Amino acid sequence: MTAPVSSSPCQPGQSRSNAGDRSRKLQTMVNDGKRIRLVLVVGARPNYMKIAPLYAELRSDPLFEPVLVHTGQHYDEKMSKVFFDDLHLPQPDVYLGVGAGSHAEQTARVMIHFEKVLLEYRPDWVVVVGDVNSTVACAIDAAKLHIPVAHVEAGLRSRDRSMPEEINRIMTDSICDLLLTPSRDADDNLRREGISEDRIVFVGNIMIDTLRLHIEEAEKSAILDTIGVSSKQYGLVTLHRPSNVDNPRRLAEVFDALEVVQRKLPLVFPIHPRSRKMLAEHGLQGRVDAMSRLHLLDPVGYLDFLKLQKHAVLVLTDSGGIQEETTVLGVPCLTIRENTERPVTVQQGTNVLIGLNTERIVMEAERVLCGNGKRGTIPELWDGHTAERIVALLRRRTGLTVPAA
């Protein structure tokens, strides 16, 4: 763990300097041989793919000193460590180990522990990603200590405030200094909420940086052979949102559909721990065990899952990130939700919102199997260079003209 930089231009407890003062102080730091310290926050599985390319890009720039903080919101080996390994992320500089709990408990624990990190490290910027509890908790801590915060993947909106992620997105965007958006509709969302134009920057989708960087490596995975399925001869399923898995009626309706689909096509289902728990609690485990062509797996790593996505004939999911990845991979995606915070994947990509109706799920799956799956295009700036654009922007925002080595 590196020692804090005592001359940070935006130390906790001080009022925020104006842009000119901060620029002069940062220029002095560089002239003195010091680096700009950024704390990058990860907490849950979706965060890792968003932070990995940015961390690597910052590490390669002599101007910046990235510090990686893992809150421990996803804290077991299957949901955390394997992703660090697959994405070649180093061990975190700080691990908070907050663990599970209610939304209030988890958010509070992150805030208590992360504030201490900020007071010790005194960063010049904090970077948060996505929409999990760690995202909003760390953004609040930094904002109250007058440390500039950048939000990667800002501006996404589902218009559904029953989703805890939607509350996290709105709160995070309202207090961050720099809102880095993955799509043009996200810019529009922020403008409608009264966010000033100088805080909004369209940079593209950083998840796609990770996908493009690892797609060849993922091809080496033996996961298809391990399961016993062939390319384009199976469907892939993920299901984890509380609105789907916590409601016994809704969960039963989804499995009514999966029972029909798996008779026509083998289904591979790396099951989230929450979903597995709910199958047992809702009395569905025996029924699922009887589905001979539904392959339930423990959670798999990023490379294995990427290969599973690429070679699937269709994907059934309630995940946000998978809607994006399937769009880039050109795989039809059937999203088991009534709404999405990523409408660009529906408007331009391969994604179709199909809700929770059993008949609709079966009908759309059959449509794909008949060769009529949705074919889309890749949205603007989903090109694998988002991390580069973010780092270039951070250099410009400091007012520094020192070229990278």
Structure confidence by residue, pLDDT tens digits, 260-271: 999 999 999 999
Domain contains 5: no
- In the residue annotation, 214 being an active-site residue is answered as no
| Domain span including residue 294 | 215-372
Q: What is the pLDDT of residues 57-94, one digit of tens each?
A: 999 999 999 999 999 876 665 656 788 889 999 999 99
Q: Would you say residue 222 has pLDDT above 90?
A: yes
Name the amino acid, one letter, at 260.
V
Helix (H) or strand (E) holding 236: strand 235-237
Q: Which residues contact 116 (CB under 8 A, 6 or more apart)?
A: none
Is residue 297 located within the same domain as residue 237? Answer: yes
Specify the range with the lowest mean pLDDT, choosing from 23-27, 77-81, 206-210. Answer: 23-27
Per annotation, catalytic residue among 146, 240, 272, 311:
240
Q: Lowest mean pLDDT of 130-139, 312-321, 323-332, 393-402, name the range.
A: 393-402
| 97 CB-near residues (< 8 Å, 6+ apart) | 72, 75
Structure tokens at 308: 């599973």
From start to end of 137-214, where are the E strands?
149-152, 178-181, 200-202
Q: Let me know whether 172 and 260 are in one domain.
A: no
**Same domain (yes/no): 243, 133:** no
- Cα distance between residue 244 and residue 275, in whole Å: 9
Q: What is the pLDDT of residue 399?
A: 67
Please give the pLDDT value at position 163.
92
Which whole number is the average pLDDT over 154-175? 96
Examine the domain organization and report whether 92 and 192 are in the same domain.
yes
Question: Would 1 be classed as within a structural domain?
Answer: no
Structure confidence by residue, pLDDT tens digits, 322-380: 999 999 999 999 999 999 999 999 999 999 999 989 999 999 999 999 999 999 999 99
Domain-embedded: residue 4: no
Share of residues in the chain with pLDDT > 70 (%): 88
CATH number at 265 reads 3.40.50.2000
Within-domain flag for 392: yes
